Amino acid sequence: DAGVIQSPRHEVTEMGQEVTLRCKPISGHNSLFWYRQTMMRGLELLIYFNNNVPIDDSGMPEDRFSAKMPNASFSTLKIQPSEPRDSAVYFCASSLTEYEQYFGPGTRLTVT
Amino acid sequence: AQSVTQLDSQVPVFEEAPVELRCNYSSSVSVYLFWYVQYPNQGLQLLLKYLSGSTLVKGINGFEAEFNKSQTSFHLRKPSVHISDTAEYFCAVSGSGGYQKVTFGTGTKLQVIP
């Protein structure tokens, strides 16, 4: 299996622009997670989907962030409008059990 | 809610020396415990996990960890490190059973010195 696939790997955008991050989970996994990693706050869970349904979105920072999972093989995380404080590495992870998550390589977002 | 503390932000160690990375957790319920490794510019990879049973858990790349309930610790050890072990290591905790949010520590950067 190719593992969790994320695109793009790097994104540089200007403040106010819309940003869309994409994730393809491992085939057969029924859980998907979006995390944000920064030096200041470490690794934070943004949202968790199970069987394509959002279960826990308590970590989504504010209304500028939204996530969708239209099917079992694709998810997006959108930021609109983006702000410099959104600069971070965003990870997608998928799992089949509640105790082992497989992480993608991440998307490094820079908002100027 | 659970929390996890990694006291050491950086640990330098000479190649072939032993290493211990410390992790303490806090929880009012039964827990699952994990160690993940992150190599530069990569995602996190599971090293090992404690779910139940034997308190000594062996993982990949020669690492092991011991669950100590009385001290609420889950320290990671390796008897002899290699240059390739240079990475950041994250301890994590979740409640046991069903979906439980995984809480990650702030990470410990292991630097192996030739």
pLDDT, one tens digit per residue, over A16-29 is: 999 999 999 999 99
pLDDT of residue B99: 72
Q: Is the dihedral of CA B95, B98, B99, B105 positive or negative?
A: positive
Question: What integer is the mean pLDDT of B106-111?
Answer: 96
Q: What are phi and psi of A27, to 5 degrees?
A: -60, 130
- Can you tell me whether residue A30 is helix, strand or coil? coil
Percent of chain B with pLDDT over 70: 99
Contact A106 B42 (CB under 8 A): yes
Q: Is the pLDDT of residue B96 over 90?
A: no
Q: Which residues contact B56 (CB under 8 A, 6 or more apart)?
A: B64, B65, B66, B67
Q: Is the pLDDT of residue B98 over 80?
A: no
Average pLDDT, chain B: 93
Q: Is the pLDDT of residue A112 over 80?
A: yes
Closest of B3, B48, B44, B41 to residue B21, by C-alpha: B48
**Chain A hits for B36, Cβ within 8 Å:** 103
How far apart (Å, rounded) are the C-alpha atoms in residues B22 and A34? 27
How far apart (Å, rounded) are the C-alpha atoms in residues A47 and A55? 8
Q: What are the tokens at A44?
A: 């934070």
Q: Name the interface residues of A facing B (CB cutoff 8 Å).
A: 4, 31, 42-43, 45, 48, 50, 55-56, 91, 93, 98-106
Q: How far apart are the first and last CA of chain B?
A: 41
* pLDDT tens by residue, A10-68: 999 999 999 999 999 999 999 999 999 998 888 999 999 999 999 999 999 889 999 99
Contact A105 B42 (CB under 8 A): yes
Q: Which residues contact B97 (CB under 8 A, 6 or more apart)?
A: A98, B30
Closest of A42, A23, A41 to residue A33, by C-alpha: A23
Among A59-63, A73-77, B12-16, B18-22, the range scoring the smallest mean pLDDT is A59-63
Closest of A49, A83, A46 to residue A64, by C-alpha: A83
Query: How many residues are present in chain B?
Result: 114
Which of A42, A45, A98 is the closest to B106 by Cβ?
A: A42
B89 — pLDDT class (breaks 50, 70, 90)? very high
Q: Is the pLDDT of residue A1 over 70?
A: no
Burial class (CB in 10 A: 0-12, 13-18, 19+), A41: exposed
